[in-house]
Amino acid sequence: METLYRIRDIRSELQLLERDFEHSHGVSFNEAMILCGLLDGKRMSSGEIGELIGQTRSNASKIIASVERKGLIERGIGSDDKRRMYFVLTDRGRELIETVGEDVEVLNERLNAALGK
């Protein structure tokens, strides 16, 4: 039984961590993961982004649309195949994810505390 309570506590702390993260940075963990995946000028298709964040195509499309509306990524047409869409980081998205990077130590401390490390 104790294990179930521990799992519940970890889950609750992770939900609080994500809520605080989103409040501080204006993006969810999944949205931040997209920005991280697009760092260094990398471009990705919606399918690749879905795999990166571990979401179905439908959910990934919603998250991509949210990040795009925020002006953090933009879409482009493939040079080889005009039917394919690719996403790249905007300057605003790069600035945001660099700011998030500055908070990694705090995130690690809270995560380790939640896991009892």
- Tens digits of per-residue pLDDT, 32-79? 999 999 998 888 999 999 999 999 989 999 999 999 999 999 998 867
Q: What is the mean pLDDT of residues 8-30?
A: 91
Question: 101: pLDDT confidence band, cut at 50, 70 and 90?
Answer: confident
In order of their start, the domains of the chain are 2-110 (1.10.10.10)
SS (H, E, C) 37-87: HCHHHCCECHHHHHHHHCCCHHHHHHHHHHHHHCCCEEEEECCCCCCCEEE
Q: What is the mean pLDDT of residues 5-11?
A: 88
Element (H, E) at 61: helix 57-69
Residue 54 Ramachandran class (φ > 0 left, ψ -120 to 50 alpha, else beta): left
Residue partners of 46: CB distance under 8 A and separation at least 6? 57, 60, 61, 64, 85, 87
Structure tokens at 59: 């959910």
**Given this model, what pLDDT does residue 23 score?**
94
**Given this model, what pLDDT does residue 70 score?**
97
The whole-model pTM stands at 0.84
% of the chain with per-residue pLDDT over 90: 54
